[in-house]
Structure 1
Amino acid sequence: MKIHKRYISAFVALMLSVPVFAQVPAPAPKQSKPVLLTGATLHVGNGTVVENAAVAFDNGKITYAGPKSGANTNGYEVVDVTGQHIYPGLIQPNAQLGLNEIESVRATLDMREVGQMNPNVRSVIAYNTDSDIIPTIRANGVLMSQVTPVGGTISGSSSVVQLDAWNWEDAVVKADEGIHLNWPAMLIQTGSTPDPRLANFKQQREQALTDLAQLFRDASVYKAAKNDKENLKLSSMAGLFDGSKKLYIHANYGKEIIESVNFVKQFGVKDIVIVGGGDAVAVIDFLKANNLPVIYSGVHALPSRAEEDVDMPYKTPFLLQKAGVPFALDYDLSIHGIRNLPFIAGTAVAHGLDKEQALAAITLNTAKILGIDKEVGSVEVGKNATLVVSSGDLLDMRTNNVTHAFIQGRKIDLNNKHRYLYQKFDNKYNAETKPAEAKPATKAMTN
């Protein structure tokens, strides 16, 4: 059948009239030539600040980080960022990023598995690199995340990913680095009238602890034995007993933190991290005695008790730092809000924490807890060139303005749906406020 040219022209015109919507930018190509950033203030991530600095990187690795005067410019593409600030790429721990897209659409939710004991569940294989949320987070400097499952008593294993990849295999920085345990909550009678539900809850909790103890015993025995057939649930826990995997215990109440740590230690678990840690200050001595790092989740929260200072959540990072407890910060209110990660660090600065210590709490400290500090977390020679450049203070929402971002030396496209929508409506309302152009007078119609 022959199609007339005018129909083809009409179809093309129609397609051109359809608005182009913002899409997730394609991953950046591998770094092809050496790059040198010059003139900025360098915040290394370990507490060191270098004025009028330079950072060079080639093949995805940092080759120089120090004073501008000591940098070699031969063969480098020089990018002048004078007056700006260079930071390590920020790292968000304990997130369902890429697993949870639209709460009201079940098909976009893949962050939990059925059942209570799922140590063999691997969250990373469900990680969606095409999530619309990821570009909005990168625009504020967050370039890496720990993809973490939720639900049940043992949710499964988490993995660390970088946020610019075609698929989850390309995104992985460290796969299956830890297992997440949601400690069964304690409840106590608070009123004078007995609550009939409390006895049932306590019974369920005791059963959960019994099942948990049995699983840890079985896994410990399984690791020590020679097994002809693999049991995925038990083999996935083997790393907990030799220190090759971390156990992330999600607990907030002080008694729960103490109870959970003592519980798992009796089975020989080597490397433990507390996630949440709402009562971390109340059990500081216990944390220090057991060398327990904390991923603190509650900076932007209300106090858990009426008698606590109203700013207790805000100053908890400072109190942990002062006591010498290793900690990182986690934005856990929503995945869409992960872009606010630098600002919770800024809140901690406003309540006593040194600014460079606050930066470390979302970069180097996090990298150390996740076991990736040899590769990322600070701007140092030999590490991956995963860094951001901001024209203002990255931790201040008034001045945070990321102008450049690099992941493993690859320059990241910072466009996202938020920027697209801002530009769309900025153009609309600016156009409406412009004075209308004068139109030629027309002759009135007469009969």
Structure 2
Amino acid sequence: MKINKKYISAFVAMLFAVPVMAQVPTPAPKQSKPVLLKGATLHVGNGTVVENAAVGFDKGKITYAGPQAGANLSGYEVVDVTGQHIYPGLIQPNATLGLNEISSVRATLDQREVGEMNPHVRSVIAYNTDSDIIPTIRTNGVLLTQVTPVGGTISGTSSIVQLDAWNWEDAIVKADGGLHLNWPYMLISTGNSAQDARLARMKAQREQALTELAALFRDAAVYKAGKHENENLKLAATAGLFDGSKKLYIHANYGKEIVEAVNFAKEHGVKDIVVVGARDAVAVADFLKANNVSVIYSGVHALPSRAEEDVDMPYKTPYLLHKAGVPFALDYDLSIHGIRNLPFIAGTAAAYGLDKEQALAAVTLNTAKILGVDKQTGSVEVGKDATLVVSSGDLLDMRTNNVTHAFIQGRKLDLNNKQKYLYEKFDNKYKNEQKTPSGVTTSAGN
């Protein structure tokens, strides 16, 4: 059959006329030449602020961070960011980002494994670098996350990844650094006989879970101490808990649960403990400090846990933890889509007691220390990864946050994303609809 060439030409023209839907930007290539940002205010992440600063980096590592007057510009591509602010890339702990795309579509969910005791499950191998959500997170300055499994009593191990990579292997900053334990809920009698009968069954299930958990930890300690012909993956995955090479992240909120869980871990020889969630952390702050336990606090933008608490208790908890001397980081846990709001929960903490640099540290250097990656990232210091952002306004203020540049290990990121594309698409649509064919602007009602 003979096809008319004019139809082919028309079809090709039509294809090129259709706007291309924004996709996940292509990962940036490795840094090819030294770059120096000059003229901005530098927020190091450790409390230090440098006015009229410069930051230089080469081959993905920071080579200079300090006053602009002391920088050697020779050999650097100089980027003038005068009047702006340089910050470390923000770090989101305890997230299913890359494991959970669309909650109503089962095929896109890979954050949970079958079973209750899964210490050998590695969440990072399911991490999807092509998630549409990731570019929307980077836009507000969040450049790293802790990929965390959920469900069961022991969910599995988490890994730290950077948010610009072709695959999960390239994304890894620290693999399998911690084991996640969901401490069984304590149950309180209500005085209602029907409800208490149900509670009795749940208490029996809780006791069974604690018994199995104790047995697993005892077996793990024995396994680590001996030699074995056949490897037991579940027990081998827990070995690092007893020599401090792997952290135990205990997910608990109620004060008595926190104390019970930490005592359990200590009794079984766990060296490095972090409590995640920790809504009641202030109530047990002395206990946490005495036992050298860090906290990932998840409730800044939440309601108070109890009716008798101050209405602003979640907002001021970070300040109270800081005042009590408990090491802590902040976690945006309301939804993976909302992780882009991580800088703003730090801003809320700053409005309720913390100073701005302490609040910044709670989503950068403090988080890096708790996750065990502070020698590599978390602050803008010489020798660390050039993972940083530049904002024309205050990064922690939702009114002025405007990230103009972002770099991961020296690679300049494309900050476009699906939400920006849709905003521009419909902004143009309604602007055009306000015009008559002659180009004269009319009111929206016409």
The answer to whether TM tops 0.5 is yes
**What are the equivalent positions in structure 2 for 1:186-265 lying under 5 Å apart?**
186-191=186-191, 193=193, 195-265=196-266
Q: Is the 8 A contact 2:141 2:389 kept in 1?
A: yes
C-alpha offsets along residues 260-283 of structure 1, whole Å, 9 cap, x if unaligned? 011121111111000000000000
Residue identity matched to 1:109: L
**Counterparts of 1:166 and 1:81 in 2: how far apart (Å)?**
29
Which stretch shows the higher mean deviation, 188-197 or 310-319? 188-197
C-alpha offsets along residues 410-439 of structure 1, whole Å, 9 cap, x if unaligned? 000000011101111111112222454179
Query: 3-state SS of the aligned residue for 1:300?
Result: coil
Query: 3-state SS of the aligned residue for 1:107?
Result: helix
**Counterparts of 1:435 and 1:323 in 2: how far apart (Å)?**
64
Query: 3-state SS of the aligned residue for 2:39?
Result: strand
**What are the equivalent positions in structure 2 for 1:79-158 lying under 5 Å apart?**
79-158=79-158
Query: 3-state SS of the aligned residue for 1:195?
Result: helix
Match of 1:443 in 2: none
> Per-residue deviation at 1:401?
0.2
Match of 2:72 in 1: 72
Match of 1:295 in 2: 296
**Counterparts of 2:87 and 2:215 in 1: how far apart (Å)?**
46
Match of 2:45 in 1: 45
**Counterparts of 2:237 and 2:192 in 1: how far apart (Å)?**
46
Residue identity matched to 2:244: G
Match of 2:417 in 1: 416
**What are the equivalent positions in structure 2 for 1:372-387 lying under 5 Å apart?**
372-387=373-388
Match of 2:393 in 1: 392
Match of 1:429 in 2: 430
**Counterparts of 1:248 and 1:341 in 2: how far apart (Å)?**
20
Q: Is the 8 A contact 2:46 2:361 kept in 1?
A: yes
C-alpha offsets along residues 24-74 of structure 1, whole Å, 9 cap, x if unaligned? 000000000100100000000000000010000000000000011111111
**Counterparts of 1:105 and 1:284 in 2: how far apart (Å)?**
41
> Per-residue deviation at 1:192?
5.2
**Counterparts of 2:190 and 2:162 in 1: how far apart (Å)?**
45
Match of 1:445 in 2: none
**Counterparts of 1:404 and 1:164 in 2: how far apart (Å)?**
14
C-alpha offsets along residues 140-199 of structure 1, whole Å, 9 cap, x if unaligned? 000000000000000000000000000000000000000000000001013454621011
Residue identity matched to 1:96: T
C-alpha offsets along residues 192-216 of structure 1, whole Å, 9 cap, x if unaligned? 5462101101000000000001111
**Counterparts of 2:196 and 2:24 in 1: how far apart (Å)?**
51
**Counterparts of 2:406 and 2:8 in 1: how far apart (Å)?**
42
Match of 1:357 in 2: 358
C-alpha offsets along residues 207-254 of structure 1, whole Å, 9 cap, x if unaligned? 000000111111111111100111100101000011100000000000
Query: 3-state SS of the aligned residue for 1:55?
Result: strand
Residue identity matched to 2:355: D
Match of 1:279 in 2: 280
Query: 3-state SS of the aligned residue for 1:328?
Result: strand
**Counterparts of 1:133 and 1:114 in 2: how far apart (Å)?**
25
Match of 1:23 in 2: 23
TM-score in terms of structure 1 length: 0.97
**What are the equivalent positions in structure 2 for 1:306-345 lying under 5 Å apart?**
306-345=307-346
Match of 2:444 in 1: none
Residue identity matched to 1:388: V
**Counterparts of 2:62 and 2:393 in 1: how far apart (Å)?**
23
**Counterparts of 2:297 and 2:228 in 1: how far apart (Å)?**
39
**Counterparts of 2:188 and 2:7 in 1: how far apart (Å)?**
74
Q: Is the 8 A contact 2:190 2:196 kept in 1?
A: no
Match of 2:160 in 1: 160
**Counterparts of 2:107 and 2:18 in 1: how far apart (Å)?**
27
TM-score in terms of structure 2 length: 0.97
**Counterparts of 1:438 and 1:375 in 2: how far apart (Å)?**
56
**Counterparts of 2:206 and 2:136 in 1: how far apart (Å)?**
40
Which stretch shows the higher mean deviation, 12-21 or 306-315? 12-21
Match of 2:55 in 1: 55
Query: 3-state SS of the aligned residue for 1:287?
Result: helix
Residue identity matched to 1:277: A
> Per-residue deviation at 1:14?
2.9
**Counterparts of 1:433 and 1:36 in 2: how far apart (Å)?**
44
> Per-residue deviation at 1:5?
2.3
**Counterparts of 1:378 and 1:396 in 2: how far apart (Å)?**
19
Gaps of 5+ in 2: 441-446
Match of 1:442 in 2: none
Which stretch shows the higher mean deviation, 17-26 or 202-211? 17-26
Matched, 1:269 2:273: no
> Per-residue deviation at 1:19?
2.8
Residue identity matched to 1:93: P
Change (3 A) 1:2 1:435: closer
Residue identity matched to 1:61: K
Change (3 A) 1:430 1:238: same
Query: 3-state SS of the aligned residue for 1:395?
Result: coil
**Counterparts of 1:96 and 1:106 in 2: how far apart (Å)?**
15
Which stretch shows the higher mean deviation, 182-191 or 317-326? 182-191
Residue identity matched to 2:433: E
Change (3 A) 1:72 1:434: farther
Residue identity matched to 1:98: G
Residue identity matched to 2:100: N
Residue identity matched to 2:389: V
**Counterparts of 2:263 and 2:6 in 1: how far apart (Å)?**
78
Query: 3-state SS of the aligned residue for 1:69?
Result: helix
Q: Percent identity?
A: 82
**Counterparts of 2:191 and 2:54 in 1: how far apart (Å)?**
62
**Counterparts of 2:261 and 2:235 in 1: how far apart (Å)?**
20
